Amino acid sequence: MIAVLLVVHLFIAVALVGVVLLQRSEGGGLGIGGGNMGGLMTTRGSANLLTRVTAVLAACFMSTSIILAITSGSNQPQRSIMEKPVQQQAPVQPSGPVPPSVPLAR
């Protein structure tokens, strides 16, 4: 299920990037989608269509992101930090006299 949802999420991401690049920017950017589109739609109509498609794709992208985040955490058992057992270690005691690590002056 997660793999299928991840593939759908990636397709939505690629489509969202493509639709955003098709939009006509006011700064002159790429502006690939400008013009009259061969008489099929007016410039204003194509802008409205691309804006709506962008909004729908963005909503789908956010919803798949939330669903993926929820499902990825469901595989692990719910545990609290307070439930972890405390591991106590006994202090290390030397077995004999410890020689100095630095030679002493004579």
Q: Give the pLDDT confidence of 74-106 residue by residue, as tens digits.
A: 666 666 777 766 677 777 776 777 666 777 676
Query: Residue 41 and residue 46: Cα distance in Å, rounded?
Result: 6
Rounded mean pLDDT, 54-66: 95
Query: Residue 86 and residue 33: Cα distance in Å, rounded?
Result: 62
- Whether this model's pTM surpasses 0.75: no
Angle between helices 43-73 and 2-22 (to 10 degrees): 160
Is pLDDT of 6 > 90?
A: yes
Residue 32 near residue 22 (C-beta atoms within 8 A): yes
